[in-house]
Structure 1
Amino acid sequence: MADIFAWLFSFFTLIALIIIIIYQLMCLADLEFDYINPYDSASRINRVVFPEYIILAALFCFYIVTGHWIMALFCVPYIYYNVQLFRQRKHLVDVTEIFNMLSREKKQRLFKLFYLIFILFLSLFWLIYTSLDDHDD
């Protein structure tokens, strides 16, 4: 039963990460369609970058602690990419360059979104598998 709660925690944590990425994409789309100024868009996106990194790191640690090694391995490329962005100081959106980097920023976040959806489906699969396996015992 504890394993089911672990997968539920993982599922809802991944949903929170997906919501953060979608929020960032909405800010970029609002900027692209000129609904918001560059300063507000950059500040809104930059405000949720660190929570995204912290939530992902916590999820990775949670997978390690609970012994879900394969799911932890699936988190490693995402974490590595975020660490590389942080080390190159490209993790925050620059207000002065946001229009020049708009396409790149959108593609980056779309890739993150699809990767998180992939991990979400794996988590959902393991949640269902675990619940059916617990039900048989």
Structure 2
Amino acid sequence: MSFFEDLKNTKVTDAAFYLMFILALIAPGTAYAMVFHLEVFKELDSWKAILMVVAIGAPLFVITTATTYITNHRYFEGEDGLKILGFYSCLNVLSSPYVVLVLAVDQKWSFLLTSAVAFLACMVGGAVIGGASRI
């Protein structure tokens, strides 16, 4: 019964953060896989597809979090600071790669070029968010 008690004791903000975190890990990878590797995405079973999607999206989240933390590490100390860091990182990962994907589809970029530009966009976005939190 402890699982159901834990669910009852979960705050709404924590549940929203967890859902946003899962979305930040899965959504960019799904979009990139469907644009560039649709035939592979269709052929894989569900677990392999989820692992492929997370393998595409997780590095974007990690580099965003690292860049944001390095830019302003004092602001993100403690448990509340880490939640704010995760929230900012999720927001960046849920916006920057899609802007790059729109440019890539319009300019007909390859997957490798698009991934590199998305990686750089997440780094720049993380640095901007970290720098903006100093103010």
TM range (shorter): under 0.3
* Superposition TM-score, scaled by structure 2 size: 0.28
